[in-house]
């Protein structure tokens, strides 16, 4: 695996040791059980896989390379590099300006750009329309394009499906940058439709099976299908791809559900002609993080701390999983932990930060599940651990605890 050159202040001391130890003992990543650090008053249950993935480290390396190589030029990002406020704020401090917000709203007019400017494409990728606009202005889009290779893999798979006359079904959030980019690329090659969840898949199945009219289809999926999409013809042959940060289990559930729908309509002997096998589009890092989170759920704990940007899709899905078993608190850094009795946690259902009192149980040892999203620097996890050590008055040497795990 390539080692990326990213700013040293994103690295950690505690977590880097934990990850190095697990890698040495499990180089083939077969063991998804968590790492346990017993610190006396607290017991940390740390996920096997979490934090920066390949695509994020690649994006950060390219972004800072752009900054170093162009000290006298204006540097723009199409939108947030990744969904982590600390990383984006640091890029702003280094002089980078955002052209759009995460919803695609313009912050700086395209007319302000000149051929001399540097434009960085974020890890989510971008739409064909925006890429062409930049090329027409003479900007070298490819030089600092940080699009995740696994996102590009989805685009390539979509192209192949399109050539084989499949309609592309995208499992994703239609307003998310990555899904907007994937939709833009896929509709060049095939009719395309976005589904958010199993509820959307059920509606689609109703139409395929003749239970939903074309008018109802158009109303329900408004704004989520490509131009000239013909439901009567374009749903006879489909292939499912996904926004790489979605729950892999949910993508599989949708795929299995639609496969059963096609089986019902066309029969076993014709099934392969009507739905493609697209398991190869799932992102390995998202899969590893989610599988490791399921490993956390096999443990006993008093609560879970999940660290990441509040607009991070992959982090939100980790919260969705963990809250099924534990009281779960979504924080973006150690400052959200006010004391042993108070924490500010982001509620993913109401999209707001809530101040929660008495979140720590009164007991001799408190067990805490700990993980972070794929766009979260490990240093932020280190700082959360140090905050926990401070507020609980831990005197045990954590370095010694980690060394004893070897």
Residues taking part in catalysis: 178
Give the residue ranges of DSSP H helices in 297-352. Answer: 313-322
Helix (H) or strand (E) holding 15: helix 14-25
Backbone angles phi, psi at 354, to 5 degrees: -120, 135
What 3-state DSSP class applies to 339? Answer: strand
Give dist(CA 367, CA 44) in Å, integer.
6
DSSP summary character for residue 305 = E
What 3-state DSSP class applies to 402? Answer: helix
Cα-based distances in Å from 323 to 33, 144, 247, 270, 405: 18, 38, 15, 41, 28
Q: Helix, strand, coil: what percent of the chain each, to 5?
A: 45, 15, 40
Spatial contact of 373 and 318, defined as CB atoms under 8 Å apart: yes
Kindly give, in sequence order, each residue whose CB lies less than 8 Å from that of residue 200, ignoring residues fewer than 6 positions away: 221
Is residue 296 exposed (0-12), middle (13-18) or buried (19+ Cβ within 10 Å)?
Answer: buried
Spatial contact of 398 and 36, defined as CB atoms under 8 Å apart: no
Give dist(CA 236, CA 107) in Å, integer.
41
Give dist(CA 218, CA 65) in Å, integer.
45
Nearest to 301 by CA among 203, 371, 220: 371
Nearest to 356 by CA among 364, 346, 365: 346
């Amino acid at each position: 695996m390539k080692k990326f050159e990213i700013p040293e202040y994103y690295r950690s001391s505690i977590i880097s040791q934990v990850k190095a130890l697990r890698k040495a003992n499990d180089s083939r990543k077969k063991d998804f059980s968590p790492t346990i650090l017993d610190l006396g008053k607290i017991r940390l249950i740390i996920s096997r896989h979490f934090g920066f993935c390949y695509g994020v480290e690649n994006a950060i390396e390219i972004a800072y390379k752009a900054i170093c190589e162009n000290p006298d030029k204006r540097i723009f990002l199409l939108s947030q590099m990744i969904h982590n406020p600390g990383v984006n704020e640091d890029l702003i401090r280094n002089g980078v300006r955002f052209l759009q917000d995460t919803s695609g709203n313009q912050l700086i007019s395209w007319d302000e750009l000149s051929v001399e400017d540097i434009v960085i494409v974020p890890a989510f990728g971008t739409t064909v329309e925006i890429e062409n606009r930049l090329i027409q202005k003479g900007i070298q889009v490819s030089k600092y394009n940080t699009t995740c290779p696994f996102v590009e893999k989805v685009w390539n798979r979509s192209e192949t499906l399109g050539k084989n006359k499949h309609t592309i079904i995208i499992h994703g959030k239609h307003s998310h940058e990555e899904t907007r980019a994937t939709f833009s690329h896929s509709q060049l090659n095939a009719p395309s439709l976005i589904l958010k969840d199993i509820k959307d898949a059920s509606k689609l199945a109703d139409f395929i099976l003749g239970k939903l009219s074309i008018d109802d289809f158009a109303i329900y999926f408004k704004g989520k299908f490509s131009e000239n999409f013909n439901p009567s013809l374009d749903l006879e042959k489909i292939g499912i791809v996904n926004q790489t940060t979605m729950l892999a289990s949910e993508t599989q559930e949708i795929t299995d559900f639609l496969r059963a729908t096609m089986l019902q309509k066309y029969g076993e002997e014709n099934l392969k002609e009507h739905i493609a096998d697209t398991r190869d589009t799932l992102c390995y890092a998202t899969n590893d993080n989610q599988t490791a989170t399921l490993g956390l759920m096999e443990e006993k704990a008093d609560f879970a701390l999940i660290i990441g940007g509040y607009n991070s899709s992959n982090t939100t899905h980790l919260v969705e999983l963990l809250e099924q078993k534990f009281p779960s608190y979504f924080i973006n850094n150690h400052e959200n932990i006010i004391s042993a009795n108070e924490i500010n946690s982001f509620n993913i259902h109401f999209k707001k930060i809530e101040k929660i009192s008495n979140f720590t149980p009164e007991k001799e040892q408190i067990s805490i599940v700990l993980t972070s999203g794929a766009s979260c620097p490990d240093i932020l996890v280190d700082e959360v651990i140090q905050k926990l050590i401070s507020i609980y008055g831990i005197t045990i040497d954590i370095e010694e605890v980690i060394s004893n795990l070897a």
